[in-house]
Structure 1
Amino acid sequence: MDTSLGLRERKKLRTRRTLIETGLRLFAENGYDATTVADICAAAELSPATFFAYFPAKEDLVFADQPERVAAMREIIAARRPGEPLREVLMRGMDRLAVSEQWSIPPDDELVAIRARLIATEPALRAVALRRLFDVQREWADALAEAFPDELDELGAHAVIGSVVGAVIGVALANLRRGDAALPMPEAVTRAAEAAMAGLPPAVR
């Protein structure tokens, strides 16, 4: 936790973390649909009002880090330096997403594996994950098309983002299935992004 934050902010981060960890573990133990907000609050010893101050709904707890990651990548794309190649911009973004400890659920956190198993086994969460994935790709593709107007049109931007995001998700899930033989997640994500970028036409790299 960032020690430069004030006491109040650190307390809010601890409360948020408690809700995320408690919720994901209860979903894994009892099922997503069967676990209520009241169950999470009782286990975390927090009130429902506190829960809803942090998360509008259960699904927002599961994907607590998504808004942070979406905003971070958009910021990096928008800050493209003049003449900076597409590959460098995207790899800089992927590096930040893979290694930063600022996320609600860091890349190497055990909760990542718990969430992945939930999405794989809970039909309701699979549908939510797919919808949110489309939203993420649309936001990043729009940012990419705006940052690279001479290199990419709307369709090209979506193709690039789809290639990179698809590779990263596929490799991350495969890496989690390796158990004790898994690579550190930042390394796996970087390898996936590099492989996806290598497969793009030279004109847009």
Structure 2
Amino acid sequence: MEETRRERKKRQTRELLVTTAFRLFDEQGYEQTTLAQITSAADVATKTFFNYFRSKDDVLFADVEQYYQATVEVISERTPDEGVSDVLLKTYDRVIARFAEGPISGDPELMEIYGRLVLTVPALQAKALLVQFDLQRRVAEALLTAFPDKLDPITAAAAVGSLFGAVQAAELTSREMFGDSEEEYLKSARRAIDVAMRGLRSL
């Protein structure tokens, strides 16, 4: 559907807040950057910031809700012949598509900043783990509801964990080998998915 003027303006404001925050985090340090500085640099009111994000760290993790929504959509659209592994693979593809629409995709500088922040700032490392664990739990619950005859809570958690864990491990190794290349990250993630799928096909 064609984007309306209001939707476009909202998207542009959100992207402005994200890019402004990332650059301030990089220049000043995450802990040293305040909400007031972000809104001032972006030339928006503090109230406007809270229309898009709940907190400073939410700028880095707000898209997680979209990734969960991708799972819900894929499950609702699945055909009778699609199994657990098919849904997980389609979910991954949907998430990548959503990520490609985000404000930092395609910008090597912002990708590098994001990777460095999440890997080096203790508060963000802890937040990233909590966010990932919560997302895994919610996806596992959605799968369990969708496939009650094929999954139990342990198997659902293991299936989601194997996929998430494979991608995360591949991402970390990719960053060590190739830096913050988005192309290399996506290639590495796809290889991780292929490895995980060999085991998940049994479901």
Query: Is the structural similarity TM-score above 0.5?
Result: yes
Change (3 A) 1:52 1:113: same
Letter in 2 for 1:36: T
SS at match of 2:173: helix
TM-aligned CA deviation for residue 146 of structure 1:
1.2
Show the counterpart of 2:32: 34
**Any conservation in 2 of the 1:107–1:186 contact (CA below 8 Å)?**
no
Aligned 8 A contact 1:164 1:196 in 2:
yes
Number of residues paired by the alignment? 201
CA distance in 2, matches of 1:154, 1:59: 31
C-alpha contact 2:115 2:180 (8 A) present in aligned 1: no
Change (3 A) 1:179 1:94: same
User: Tell me, what secondary structure is at the counterpart of 1:199?
Assistant: helix
CA distance in 2, matches of 1:160, 1:25: 37
- Structure 1 gaps, min length 5: none
Once the two structures are superposed, residues 154-197 of structure 1 have per-residue CA deviations (whole angstroms, 9 ceiling, x without a partner) of: 11000000010111122123223313877444333222112112
Instruction: Give the structure 1 partner of residue 65 of structure 2.
Output: 67
1:107–1:44 CA distance, 2 compared to 1 (3 A): closer
For 1:26-175, list aligned pairs within 5 A. Answer: 26-100=24-98, 103-105=101-103, 107-110=105-108, 111-175=110-174
Q: Indicate the RMSD between aligned Cα atoms, in angstroms.
A: 2.1
Give the Cα separation in 1 of the matches to 2:174 and 2:86: 24
**Structure 1 residue runs of 4 or more that deviate by more than 6 Å after TM superposition:** none
Report the residue type matching 2:160 in the other structure: I
The alpha-carbon deviation at position 33 of structure 1 amounts to 1.4
Identity %: 41
User: TM-score, normalized by length of structure 1?
Assistant: 0.88
Look up the equivalent residue of 1:179 and give its one-letter code. Answer: G
Normalised by the size of structure 2, how large is the TM-score? Answer: 0.89
